[in-house]
Amino acid sequence: MLRPERALDGPHRATLADIDPLNRVFSDAFTDRYGRDGLVGVRVPFLNPLVWRYALEDAGEGAMLWRDARGEIAGFNIVHRSGCEGWMGPLAVRPDRQAEGLGSRMVRAGLEWLQAQGARTIGLETMPRTVDNIGFYSRLGLVPGHLTITMVQEARRPRGLAPEALGRGGAFTQGLDACHALAATVAPGVDFTREIELTLALRMGDVTLVRRDGAVVAFALWHSAQLAAGRPKDELRVLKVVAMDVAAFRLLVAHLHEAAAAERVRRVAIRCQSAHAGAYMALVEEGFRVHWTDLRMTLRGHAEPPPGAGVLLSNWEI
């Protein structure tokens, strides 16, 4: 039994008023994790408060935190659902409250919430080198799958493609409906409408569209707002990609470079799931380089469906 001063209360819904303490726990926990993985001297910076706002508002009731007897945040699990797709992240336990079972409690709460919400795909991502994390999540029923590979490339000079941006066009509703319809075709049940609307409302980025014979055949939801607090924005981070085929994906990538130039950022970053071999090799052939890898894990019985002819890249990080 936990001593009274070690007791934990939760989950509670995380609100915008919690951003500062969430940032401290996030930075301390991941700095500690990297140190134990051998990355000594790495200090994980605070996230941009706007990124936290996006994460909390996107998660809604899935933004969970636990408090200690003093009312301070001991851990959190930010749980997201995009239609039938559900994932957890970020999640962290304050270093001084680790090895007490809180991590298991948080993950189980997230899994149960997503199951109750009807999510068919349920998972998270972790660093492949963190073997104890992989074992920890596996004991909770999560199975290792493919990699999510962060691919980056310096932004090219504009080529005059004039990409179509959903947030800057005059037919927003029709464009949003077209994105919803394309996602339903490529990955039935997946819906990124809330993320798109929230991105545009917070002015964090936009959605680049590609058309073929007038119909939307690819789109990418991206953020250009800086990820780390106090740092200048330097990249166009692609969060979601849906494309009818690899040819449409290639054209979308060219348009994303044009968008990066318009945003005056120095590079394009796309997190590509290795299960989509065609999209991955297209990025390699375009000159993108591997910057980072994460291991995608899914709950047993709630795996991602195998890729079809289309491309669906869904970032499971904020």
At 92-106, the pLDDT tens digits run: 999 999 999 999 999
Q: Are strands 267-273 and 142-154 parallel, antiparallel or unpaired?
A: antiparallel
> Who has greater pLDDT, 41 or 127?
127
At 184-211, the pLDDT tens digits run: 999 999 999 999 999 999 999 999 999 9
Answer yes or no: are the C-beta atoms of 173 and 312 closer than 8 Å: no
Q: What is residue 170's predicted lDDT score, i.e. its pLDDT?
A: 66
Does residue 162 register a pLDDT over 60? yes
- pLDDT-derived band at 169 (thresholds 50, 70, 90) equals confident
The rounded percent of the chain whose pLDDT value lies above 90 is 88
Average pLDDT of span 214-227: 97
Does residue 2 register a pLDDT over 60? no
Q: What is residue 146's predicted lDDT score, i.e. its pLDDT?
A: 97
Which residue in this structure is represented by tokens 């707002």?
Answer: 225
Least confident of 29-33, 79-83, 233-237: 29-33
At 120-138, the pLDDT tens digits run: 999 999 999 889 999 999 9
Chain-centroid distance of CA 73 in Å reads: 22
- pLDDT-derived band at 159 (thresholds 50, 70, 90) equals confident
Strand extents, DSSP E, the chain: 8-13, 63-68, 73-82, 85-93, 121-126, 142-154, 164-165, 205-212, 215-223, 235-243, 267-273, 289-299, 311-314
Radius of gyration of the chain (CA): 19
At 10-22, the pLDDT tens digits run: 999 999 999 999 9
Q: What is residue 41's predicted lDDT score, i.e. its pLDDT?
A: 78
Answer yes or no: are the C-beta atoms of 8 and 106 closer than 8 Å: no
Nearest-5° Cα angle at 8, 5 to 11: 160
Does residue 58 register a pLDDT over 90? yes
- pLDDT-derived band at 87 (thresholds 50, 70, 90) equals very high
At 271-291, the pLDDT tens digits run: 999 999 999 999 999 999 999
SS3 132: helix
Does residue 3 register a pLDDT over 60? no
- Tokens read off for 222: 């991206």
How many CB atoms neighbour CB 106 within 10 A? 25
Q: What is residue 129's predicted lDDT score, i.e. its pLDDT?
A: 87
Q: What is residue 161's predicted lDDT score, i.e. its pLDDT?
A: 78
- pLDDT-derived band at 158 (thresholds 50, 70, 90) equals confident
- Alpha helix segments (H runs only) across 68-171: 102-116, 131-139
Average pLDDT of span 50-59: 98
- pLDDT-derived band at 4 (thresholds 50, 70, 90) equals very low
Average pLDDT of span 306-312: 95
